[in-house]
């Protein structure tokens, strides 16, 4: 690990929240709430301070912390894409890191008051800290895989926190929805990453922006797109999930099931903007694809308008804010779509302040009136007196969101509109020497959409304020402000919501902020200067109309007149234009049906076939076997007796063990004497018993010459040493090879393993040998009984064969017979050929 | 084993032994079974005498009739007369089995008769007497004889172990009693 | 009329068979024990009868002695089991001993 002390600050900024999460999640589960608050808030604050120090100390370039080589993606040909645990900070990620940590600190602080009554306090703060860690990792990662780790990490924490009150099944379902929809986007990010890795051989952002030229490939394999279009669209696809754009925005409104500070931090200020951050990070690639930018522009603008319209009709504070967030994210992507990445990031920055402020204000209201889950506008009203701080700060946030001049939202929204007008007026944009052409009809459409979205923004912002804080109270609670820990974040965020915009003013001392950002992202700027007053007129006009309508409609009214006025349109918009129902029909139900089928296939077909049949066989078989084992004493006794009878039956027959012994030239047949046994022997198999009738005194018998069998001869092979036991080779008329087994391994010359070229067979009562040894002439030889022949170290002797039929009878009169053949002459040998059978 | 006196003795003792064995097995009353067993053991002792095994005959009466059978009778008295055992051949299966078994055994015995004549040497003086068997036991089979002592000790320990412990039923009964009170 | 050792063998086989039959078909534990005694006695008879052929040894009689001792041990253990069994089932019917079955 190396790096300047400032680079170490990056590591601290990332790891401090992780440490906080581990400590409060694992060790402080049963600790006092104060300890948990202290640990987790200070962990995030340390991260903020570290990020701020690093950002302030940032020079023109970037700061990099080199960790260690994580792994290498092999590419073939010995090459690989090294993936390092490396953090980097430049103007873009520095701004994000400071903003994330700053807002996270305020929201942690707010949560201390908001969640004071919560039982799983430590779990909540552990999740929140873990989220901050993942978000900082996402922002400060120096390469795509590490960014993806953070990307998945924030997704996980989002899931955990949406479902924080997991006892409520609807909340749990919302958490699952968020998780699953995000997975749809993550696939695209992964594929995009693979594509980038295979095209450029690197995933490091710094190296990537240098090698962006690779993406100039005009035609790429898939659908005739350029490589830049494919990569840009894949990353944008991922961004539509994370940043809630059409078509994957449906999870964000449901995500309001989580605690309100979570909505403020994750689902308004930080995580949902990571799609915009990714786009800005990838801007060197994005600007190379006009087609992808056009898609992004239209999707962003359409999302802004659609969500803005839905937000008009929502009747709960958090739902309005949620759709408002989707709408504002649409603004940001519209800016991305015309290559105005710095404008998009600017809006990310300002939006984080006023949207976090609005959410925290909503949280404060809910805290005050003890509304759990969400606050219905119909049951609020007149809270201005009871909640002065909340009321005032909320008004600031609402006005900032609406785009009232001199507040933060005004500046960023104007920048976006400026960029759009620039794109609409000039077909030609240029980004670092690359020509970008957005169709002017697309830009014009986007302008119309965004103007209408801005109008509805102004309308619902003021509606929210008016229906919450003014008029007659429509609730029966006794509202009261939260403690200092809740008021302080509201005030600080309100200050941010006012002042954040001024950082972009081209004023002395402030210029560096925007300029350094523009140095990192690759903005596409109009070739000719363009703009004039038109964007501002459109923006202010939308604000005036929207605000005017809101004030006219809601000033002093207890009922919401909108449903009556808009009729069917209201109902459609209230239902999110049926998108949720459509997705349910298009995706959820088919997948559920497939799952049910697969489940039933597994449970019925697979289990039936591969579990049911064997178990059925086992059942049937065991039913049969069970009859055998009755487990009564009688059945056991019976088994014993039957076994006993069988053993008796076996021993009821005499056993015959014949031994043949050679004593010099004499061959002796021996049988063991036993009680009640008597023997008789027939030599030569001629039917006459040489011993006469059965004799009990028979133990040994010399084999007479008449035992010899004509035409039977056996080959005895004597091997070194010659006085050892010879090997008997029983031959027949079919020639066979003599090999290692018969002649011995040491006989075999090297290189001639296995069979040797020695063939042997029986012909006319003699052994025939045919040798074809290497180095010798082929030779054929006949061995009559008694004759021998020497081959190498082995002596081959032809020997006559004797035949004997031995019968033994026991006291019961049972007879066992054995017929055997054995070499007639030779040395001590106990060879027996033949089997015995029993004759009762 | 010569002389018609021995032959008659054998015939009488053998018939008695078989009859008493059948009585032991077939009698419904346990005590009567035990009495038949006593008769069987006595007739076996007689047969031992025909085989010149005087010591064994004495031991047979002493140990079997005197010790083991008394133990049987004692246990029968302790447990009480066993009433209500169904007739031994209630089921078809044991009936079939018994019939087959008896038939097979009878055939085997019939087959053996007359085919098993074996020469029997005359017994020397003192064969089967205390001295001869004593020599055989204490000199040739000293170790097995000592092992009998071990076997009997282990059996005695086993008996103590089996009868001393409470059965599960009794333990459960004792556990229940306080509740009833 | 002469009776050889074969006659003793026939007699021993018969008694053994009766014992085995009683062991299998009777359900009274005590009678079954007695049947075992019958079988042991049959074997003893065979030992002693065959010993009569080898008059210079007493192996068979020694073995019969051992068998008697083992039979005594067996009877003692068997009767102890009978008492324990009776304490559980209030009966000596071996049909009731079916716990391992369930």
CATH classification at residue B105: 1.20.120.1200
DSSP string for A496-515: HHHHGGGGGS--TTTHHHHH
| pLDDT category of residue B180 using cuts at 50, 70 and 90 | very low
End of a domain among A610, A631, A664? A610
pLDDT of A606 reads 85
- Distance CA(A93)–CA(A206), nearest Å, equals 13
Q: Is there a domain that residue B181 lies in?
A: no
pLDDT at C2 over 70: no
- Distance CA(A657)–CA(A830), nearest Å, equals 11
- Distance CA(A754)–CA(A738), nearest Å, equals 9
Residues linked to residue A817 through DSSP beta bridges, in sequence order: A807, A837
pLDDT, tens digit (0-9, with 9 covering 90-100), for A624-676: 777 666 666 677 777 777 787 778 777 777 888 888 887 767 788 888 877 77
- A673-702 average pLDDT score: 82
B116 touches chain A (CB under 8 A): yes
pLDDT at B178 over 60: no
With an 8 Å Cβ cutoff, are A631 and C100 in contact? Answer: yes
Q: Is there a domain that residue B56 lies in?
A: yes
Q: What 3-state class would DSSP assign to A115?
A: coil
End of a domain among A610, A633, A659? A610
Q: What 3-state class would DSSP assign to A715?
A: strand
Residues A598, A685 within the same domain: no
Residues A583, A725 within the same domain: no
Number of compact structural domains in chain A: 2
Distances (CA, A) of A726 to A702, A786, A797, A799: 21, 14, 9, 12
| pLDDT category of residue B177 using cuts at 50, 70 and 90 | low
A638 touches chain B (CB under 8 A): yes
pLDDT at A382 over 90: no
Burial code (b: 16+ CB inside 10 Å, e: under 16) for C57-66 equals ebebbbbbbb
Burial class (CB in 10 A: 0-12, 13-18, 19+), C31: buried
Q: Higher pLDDT residue, A822 or B15?
A: B15
pLDDT of A509 reads 59
B34, B69 contact by CB (below 8 A): yes
- Of A430-444, B13-27, B125-139, B159-173, the one with minimum mean pLDDT is B159-173
Mean per-residue pLDDT of chain A: 84
Closest CA to B123 of A691, C52, A748: C52
Q: Is there a domain that residue B177 lies in?
A: no
Q: Is there a domain that residue A750 lies in?
A: yes
pLDDT at C10 over 60: yes
- Distance CA(A745)–CA(A623), nearest Å, equals 57
Q: Is there a domain that residue B133 lies in?
A: no
- Of A422-431, A452-461, B82-91, the one with minimum mean pLDDT is B82-91
In what order do the strands lie in the sheet containing A434-437? A434-437, A428-431, A525-526
| pLDDT category of residue A147 using cuts at 50, 70 and 90 | very high
Q: Is there a domain that residue B80 lies in?
A: yes
pLDDT, tens digit (0-9, with 9 covering 90-100), for A61-72: 788 888 888 888
| Cα torsion through A504, A505, A510, A513, rounded to 10 | 20
Residues 23-52 of C with CB under 8 A from A: 23-25, 27, 32, 50
- Distance CA(A550)–CA(A395), nearest Å, equals 14
Q: Is there a domain that residue B161 lies in?
A: no
A395, A457 contact by CB (below 8 A): no
Q: Is there a domain that residue A426 lies in?
A: no
pLDDT at B172 over 70: no
Structure tokens at A549: 């309508």
- Distance CA(A15)–CA(A517), nearest Å, equals 25
Q: Is there a domain that residue A468 lies in?
A: no
Residue that is written with structure tokens 């065959």 in the block: C50
Count, residues in chain B: 181
- Of A120-124, A216-220, A471-475, A526-530, the one with minimum mean pLDDT is A526-530
C97 touches chain A (CB under 8 A): yes
Q: Is there a domain that residue A727 lies in?
A: yes
Residues A683, A591 within the same domain: no
Structure tokens at A742: 């018969």
Percent pLDDT > 70 in chain A is 89
Residues 45-74 of C with CB under 8 A from B: 45, 48-49, 51-53, 55-59, 61-62, 64-66, 68-74
Distances (CA, A) of A742 to A48, A730, A736, A754, A768: 89, 11, 11, 10, 16
Residues A720, A602 within the same domain: no
C69: closest CA of chain A, how far (Å): 22
Structure tokens at A382: 């007149």
A634, A638, A644: residue with CB nearest C94: A634
The pTM of the full predicted model, rounded to 2 decimals, is 0.61
Q: Which residue of B has its CA nearest to A676?
A: B118
Distances (CA, A) of C49 to A281, A810, B133, C9, C54: 108, 17, 15, 8, 10
Residues A605, A708 within the same domain: no
A29, A77 contact by CB (below 8 A): no
- Distance CA(C10)–CA(A325), nearest Å, equals 107
pLDDT at B181 over 60: no
Residues A589, A709 within the same domain: no
A379, A474 contact by CB (below 8 A): yes
Residue of C17, C20, C40, C96 best to disrupt the A interface, most CBs of A under 10 A = C20
Residue that is written with structure tokens 């799609």 in the block: A275
Residues A689, A832 within the same domain: yes
Q: Higher pLDDT residue, C89 or B1?
A: C89
**Domain range spanning residue B107?**
3-128
B124, C49 contact by CB (below 8 A): no
B128, C62 contact by CB (below 8 A): no
- Distance CA(B132)–CA(B128), nearest Å, equals 6
Query: How far is C-alpha A320 from the geometric centre of its chain's CA atoms?
Result: 35
Partner chains of A (3+ C-beta pairs under 8 Å): B, C
- A191-206 average pLDDT score: 88
Q: Is there a domain that residue A832 lies in?
A: yes
pLDDT of A180 reads 92
Residues linked to residue A700 through DSSP beta bridges, in sequence order: A670
Partner chains of C (3+ C-beta pairs under 8 Å): A, B
| Cα torsion through A750, A752, A753, A757, rounded to 10 | -140
Which residues 6+ apart lie within 8 Å of A678 measured at CB?
A694, A695, A696, A698, A808, A809
pLDDT of A380 reads 84
End of a domain among A587, A610, A633? A610
Residues A727, A584 within the same domain: no
- Of A422-426, A762-766, A828-832, the one with minimum mean pLDDT is A828-832
For residue A676, which residues of chain B lie inside 8 Å, CB to CB? Answer: 118
Number of compact structural domains in chain B: 1
Per 3-state DSSP, chain B is made up of helix, strand and coil in percentages (nearest 5) of 75, 0, 25
Say what the ipTM of the complex is: 0.91
| pLDDT category of residue A50 using cuts at 50, 70 and 90 | very high
- Distance CA(B120)–CA(A182), nearest Å, equals 103
B125: closest CA of chain A, how far (Å): 24
User: What is the 3-state secondary structure of A290-342?
Assistant: HHHHHHHHHHHHHHHHHHHHHHHHCCEHHHHHHHHHHHHHHHHHHHHHCCCHH
- Of A792-801, B40-49, C66-75, the one with minimum mean pLDDT is A792-801
Q: Higher pLDDT residue, A346 or B87?
A: A346
**Half-sphere exposure in the Cβ direction for A714 (13 Å, CA):** 24
Residues 72-111 of B with CB under 8 A from C: 72, 75-76, 78-79, 82, 85-86, 88-89, 94, 97-98, 101-102, 105, 108-109
For residue A638, which residues of chain B lie inside 8 Å, CB to CB? Answer: 97
For residue A633, which residues of chain C lie inside 8 Å, CB to CB? Answer: 27, 32, 94-95, 97
Which residues 6+ apart lie within 8 Å of B77 measured at CB?
none
Structure tokens at A8: 């170490």
Residues 161-180 of B with CB under 8 A from C: 162-163, 167-170
pLDDT at A333 over 80: yes
Closest CA to B86 of C86, C96, A8: C96
Distances (CA, A) of A324 to A252, A308, A331, B158: 11, 6, 11, 88
- Distance CA(A748)–CA(A767), nearest Å, equals 22
- A716-745 average pLDDT score: 75
- Distance CA(A360)–CA(A482), nearest Å, equals 11
**Domain range spanning residue A753?**
678-839
Distances (CA, A) of A68 to A145, A180, B144: 14, 32, 79
- Distance CA(C58)–CA(B144), nearest Å, equals 14
- A150-172 average pLDDT score: 92
With an 8 Å Cβ cutoff, are B116 and A811 in contact? Answer: yes
| Cα torsion through A182, A184, A189, A190, rounded to 10 | 120
Structure tokens at A282: 């990838």
Q: Which residue of C has its CA nearest to B35?
A: C34
pLDDT, tens digit (0-9, with 9 covering 90-100), for A592-615: 999 999 998 888 888 888 888 888
What is the gyration radius of the CA atoms in chain C, in angstroms?
17
A365, A329 contact by CB (below 8 A): no
pLDDT of A153 reads 94
Residues A584, A729 within the same domain: no
- DSSP designation for A695: B
pLDDT of A572 reads 86
Rounded to 5°, angle at Cα A821 from A816 and A825: 135
| pLDDT category of residue A796 using cuts at 50, 70 and 90 | confident
């Amino acid at each position: 690990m190396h790096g300047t002390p400032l680079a170490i600050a990056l590591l601290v900024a990332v790891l401090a929240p992780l440490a906080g999460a581990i400590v409060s999640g694992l060790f402080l589960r049963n600790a006092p709430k104060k300890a948990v608050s202290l640990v987790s808030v200070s962990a995030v604050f340390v991260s903020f301070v570290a990020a701020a120090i690093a950002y302030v100390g940032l020079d023109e370039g970037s700061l990099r912390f080199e960790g260690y080589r994580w792994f290498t993606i092999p590419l073939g040909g010995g090459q690989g894409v090294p993936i390092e645990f490396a953090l980097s900070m430049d103007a873009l990620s520095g701004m994000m890191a400071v903003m994330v940590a700053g807002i996270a600190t305020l929201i942690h602080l707010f949560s201390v008051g908001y969640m004071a009554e919560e039982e799983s306090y430590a779990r909540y703060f552990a999740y929140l800290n873990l989220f901050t860690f993942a978000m900082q990792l996402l922002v400060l990662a120096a390469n795509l895989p590490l960014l993806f780790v953070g990307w998945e990490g924030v997704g996980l924490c989002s899931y955990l926190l949406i479902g924080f009150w997991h006892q409520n099944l609807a909340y749990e379902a919302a958490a699952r929805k968020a998780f699953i929809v995000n997975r749809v986007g993550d696939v695209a990010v992964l594929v995009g990453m693979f594509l980038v890795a295979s095209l450029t051989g690197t995933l490091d952002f710094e190296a990537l922006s240098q090698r962006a030229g690779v993406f100039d490939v005009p035609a790429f394999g898939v659908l005739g797109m350029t490589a830049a279009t494919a990569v840009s669209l894949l990353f944008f696809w991922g961004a539509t999930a994370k940043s809630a754009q059409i078509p994957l925005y449906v999870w964000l409104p449901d995500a309001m099931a989580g605690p309100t500070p979570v909505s403020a931090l994750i689902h308004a200020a930080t995580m949902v903007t990571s799609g915009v951050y990714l786009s800005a990070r990838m801007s060197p690639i994005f600007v190379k694809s006009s087609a992808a930018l056009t898609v992004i522009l239209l999707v962003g603008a359409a999302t802004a308008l659609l969500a803005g319209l839905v937000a008009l009709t929502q009747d709960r504070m958090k739902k309005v804010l949620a759709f408002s967030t989707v709408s504002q994210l649409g603004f940001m992507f519209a800016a991305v779509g015309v290559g105005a990445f710095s404008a998009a990031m600017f809006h990310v920055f300002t939006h984080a302040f006023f949207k976090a402020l609005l959410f925290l204000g909503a949280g404060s209201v809910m805290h005050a009136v003890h509304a759990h889950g969400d606050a219905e506008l119909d049951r609020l009203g007149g809270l201005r007196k009871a909640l002065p701080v909340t009321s005032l700060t909320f008004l600031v946030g609402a006005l900032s969101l609406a785009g009232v001049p001199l507040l933060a939202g005004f500046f960023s929204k104007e920048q976006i509109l400026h960029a759009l007008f620039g794109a609409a007026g000039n077909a030609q944009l240029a980004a670092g020497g690359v020509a970008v052409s957005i169709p002017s009809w697309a830009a014009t459409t986007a302008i119309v959409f965004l103007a209408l979205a801005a109008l509805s923004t102004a309308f619902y912002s003021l509606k929210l304020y008016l229906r919450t804080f003014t008029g007659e109270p429509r609730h029966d609670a006794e509202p009261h402000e939260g403690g200092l820990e809740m008021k302080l974040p509201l005030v600080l965020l309100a200050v941010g919501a006012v002042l954040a915009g001024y950082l972009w003013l081209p004023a002395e001392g402030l210029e560096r902020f925007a300029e350094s950002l523009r140095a990192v992202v690759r903005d596409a700027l109009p070739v000719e200067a363009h703009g004039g007053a038109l964007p501002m007129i459109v923006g202010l006009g939308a604000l005036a109309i929207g605000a005017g309508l809101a004030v006219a409609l809601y000033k002093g009214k207890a009922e919401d007149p909108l449903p009556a006025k808009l009729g069917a349109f209201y109902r459609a918009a209230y239902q999110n234009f049926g998108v949720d129902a459509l997705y349910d029909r298009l995706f959820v139900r088919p997948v559920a049906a497939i799952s049910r089928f697969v489940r039933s296939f597994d449970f019925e077909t697979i289990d039936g076939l591969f579990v049911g049949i064997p178990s059925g066989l086992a059942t049937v078989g065991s039913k049969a076997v069970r009859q055998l084992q009755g487990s009564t004493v009688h059945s056991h006794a019976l088994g014993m007796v039957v076994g006993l009878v069988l053993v008796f039956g076996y021993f009821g027959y005499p056993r015959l063990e014949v031994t043949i012994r050679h004593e010099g030239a004499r061959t002796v047949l021996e049988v063991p004497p036993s009680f009640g046994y008597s023997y008789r022997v027939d030599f030569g198999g001629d039917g006459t018993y040489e011993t006469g009738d059965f004799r009990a005194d028979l133990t040994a018998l010399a084999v007479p010459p008449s035992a010899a069998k004509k035409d039977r001869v056996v080959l005895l092979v004597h091997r070194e040493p010659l006085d050892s036991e010879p090997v008997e080779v029983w031959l027949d008329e079919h020639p066979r090879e003599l090999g290692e087994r018969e002649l011995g391994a040491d006989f075999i010359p090297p290189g001639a393993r296995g069979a040797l070229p020695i063939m042997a067979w029986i012909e006319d009562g003699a052994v025939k040998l045919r040798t074809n040894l290497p180095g010798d002439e082929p030779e054929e030889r006949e061995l009559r009984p008694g004759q021998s022949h020497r081959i190498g170290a082995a002596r081959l002797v032809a020997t006559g064969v004797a035949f004997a039929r031995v019968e033994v009878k026991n006291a019961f009169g049972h007879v066992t017979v054995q017929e055997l053949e054995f070499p007639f002459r030779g040395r001590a040998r106990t060879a027996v050929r033949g089997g015995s059978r029993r004759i009762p | 084993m010569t002389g018609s006196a021995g032959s008659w003795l054998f015939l009488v003792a053998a018939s008695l032994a078989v009859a008493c064995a059948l009585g032991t097995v077939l009698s419904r009353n346990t005590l009567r079974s035990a009495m038949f067993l006593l008769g069987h053991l006595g007739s076996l002792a007689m047969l031992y005498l025909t085989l010149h095994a005087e010591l064994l005959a004495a031991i047979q009466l002493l140990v079997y009739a005197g010790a083991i059978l008394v133990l049987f009778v004692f246990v029968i008295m302790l447990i009480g007369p066993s009433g209500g055992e169904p007739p031994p051949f209630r089921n078809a299966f044991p009936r079939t089995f018994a019939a087959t078994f008896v038939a097979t055994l009878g055939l085997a015995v019939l087959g053996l008769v007359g085919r098993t004549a074996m020469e029997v040497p005359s017994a020397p003086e003192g064969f089967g007497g205390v001295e001869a068997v004593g020599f055989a036991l204490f000199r040739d089979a000293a170790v097995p004889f000592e092992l009998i002592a071990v076997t009997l000790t282990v059996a005695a320990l086993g008996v103590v172990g089996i009868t001393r412990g409470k059965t599960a039923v009794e333990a459960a009964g004792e556990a229940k009693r306080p509740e009833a009170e | 009329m002469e009776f050889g050792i074969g006659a003793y063998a026939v007699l021993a086989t018969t008694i053994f068979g009766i014992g085995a039959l009683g062991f299998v078909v009777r359900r009274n534990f005590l009678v079954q024990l007695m049947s075992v005694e019958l079988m042991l006695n049959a074997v003893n008879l065979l030992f002693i009868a065959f010993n009569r052929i080898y008059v210079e040894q007493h192996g068979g009689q020694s073995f019969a002695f051992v068998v008697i001792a083992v039979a005594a041990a067996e009877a003692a253990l068997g009767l102890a089991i009978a008492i324990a069994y009776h304490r559980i089932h209030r009966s000596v019917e071996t049909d009731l001993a079916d716990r391992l079955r369930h």
